């Protein structure tokens, strides 16, 4: 009997100890979560079409957000939602460990980082720059070198998915930089992206973003040409898409852009033709530097440049189809 009681006592004691250990582990995890929540503060520079939606998404997720932009109307719109407006990039860097830049071009990124009252003047010991602008990879590496020389850190993290996915927090984010910095920044990025991929060292994110957009521009253009020809031959554009989208010709352009933007004549995805041409230029320059032939891509680039020179720079990039229609003397509509 004594042995039975001792066995029960030992079992109860072991269970008690196990319970304490489990509680301790839970508390540790909760502590990490609480600390992680405290870390969820981000400064954002560039409150444009995508930047503004990213700010809103962070705020909806309970992240504290500081903002800077030269556009007062843009600042007022996000301030009304709870974002803190600051007077300069330096002030933003002084108060926020993580800084996201999402700007129109690399020259503005340079000025924001290196200019008077720029980020470098405000960065703290643990500061991290998350560069989301679609930029030139070689310049990204150059800026990263300057930042690291000062003792700070940087990753490039361009995005893909458009305004709808920015609003939903389901962006694709392609990250270049140290794996350690990526791991540190990932909990923050999880609030705005559902496909977050570390693709290599600094500059790799911007490299793959340009190549992705090269493919995107190509599929949109060639789908436009095929659809224009089909309509001229008497085919129903809706029926064409029905077939294409369950066949090998399917792409994001045929599956989403044509039914929602082209056939409806909306042309408002939220990414301008000017920005697409900029991305294509980056890709073509990389190809030239690497002495890589780009026969098809060169033809695509010329088409987009033609549309750009004909006054399409501020139009939505899906409006490239309008230029294809004009040359083919046909309209693709539902």
| Active-site residue set | 209
Same domain, 158 and 265: no
Which of 150, 169, 201 is a domain's end point?
A: 201
Residue 4: which pLDDT band, with cuts at 50, 70 and 90? very low
pLDDT at 17: 47
In this model, does residue 10 exceed pLDDT 60?
no
Segment 208-228, tens digit of pLDDT: 999 999 999 999 999 999 999
- Distance, CA of 167 to CA of 57 (rounded, Å): 6
271 Cβ contact partners less than 8 Å away, ≥ 6 residues apart:
49, 162, 316, 317
What range defines the domain where residue 270 resides? 208-328
Supply the pLDDT for residue 13. 45
What DSSP assignment string belongs to 285-297?
A: HHHHHTT---HHH
Strand-pair category, 41-45 with 98-101: parallel
- Assigned domain for 33 exists: no
Task: Give the range among 79-83, 85-89, 159-163 with minimum mean pLDDT.
Answer: 159-163
| Full-model pTM | 0.85
Q: Where is 172: in which H helix or E strand?
A: strand 171-176
Question: Is the same domain home to 252 and 321?
Answer: yes
Measuring CA to CA, which residue among 308, 71, 53 is closest to residue 162? 53
Do 67 and 86 contact (CB within 8 A), yes or no?
yes
3-state secondary structure (DSSP) of residue 203: coil
Q: Decide if 4 is inside a domain.
A: no
pLDDT (tens digit per residue) in 261-289: 999 999 999 899 999 999 999 999 999 99
Residue 40, pLDDT score: 82
Whole-number Å distance between alpha carbons of 238 and 333 = 8
What confidence category does residue 21 fall into, taking pLDDT thresholds of 50, 70 and 90? low
Total count of domains within the chain: 2
- Which range, of 30-39, 87-96, 150-159, averages the lowest pLDDT? 30-39
């Amino acid at each position: 009997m004594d042995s039975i009681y001792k066995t029960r006592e030992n079992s109860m004691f072991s269970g008690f100890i196990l319970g304490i250990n489990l509680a301790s582990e839970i508390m540790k995890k909760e502590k990490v979560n609480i600390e992680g929540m405290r870390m969820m503060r981000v400064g954002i520079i560039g409150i444009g079409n995508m930047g503004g939606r990213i700010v809103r998404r962070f705020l909806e997720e309970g992240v504290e957000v500081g903002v800077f932009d030269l556009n007062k109307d843009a600042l007022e719109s996000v301030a009304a939602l709870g974002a803190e407006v600051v007077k300069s990039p330096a002030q933003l860097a002084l108060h926020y460990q993580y800084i996201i830049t999402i700007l129109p071009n690399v020259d503005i990124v340079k000025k924001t980082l290196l200019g008077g009252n720029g980020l470098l003047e405000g960065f703290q010991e643990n500061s991290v720059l998350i560069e989301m602008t679609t930029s030139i990879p070689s310049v990204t590496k150059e800026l990263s070198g300057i930042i690291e020389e000062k003792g700070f850190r940087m990753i490039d993290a361009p995005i893909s998915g458009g305004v709808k996915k920015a609003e939903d927090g389901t962006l694709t984010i392609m990250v270049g930089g140290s794996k350690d910095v990526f791991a540190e920044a990932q909990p923050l990025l999880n609030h705005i992206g559902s496909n977050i991929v570390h693709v290599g060292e600094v500059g790799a994110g911007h490299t793959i973003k340009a190549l992705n957009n090269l493919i995107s521009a190509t599929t949109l253009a060639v789908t436009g040409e095929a659809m224009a020809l089909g309509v001229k031959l008497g085919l129903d554009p809706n029926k064409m898409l029905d077939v294409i989208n369950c066949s090998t010709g399917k792409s994001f352009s045929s599956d989403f852009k044509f039914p929602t933007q082209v056939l409806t004549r909306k042309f408002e995805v939220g990414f301008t033709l000017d920005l697409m041409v900029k991305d294509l230029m980056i890709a073509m320059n990389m190809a030239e530097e690497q002495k890589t032939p780009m026969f098809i891509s060169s033809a695509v680039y010329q088409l987009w440049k033609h549309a750009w020179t004909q006054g399409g720079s501020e139009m939505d990039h899906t409006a490239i189809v309008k230029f294809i229609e004009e040359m083919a003397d046909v309209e693709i509509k539902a």
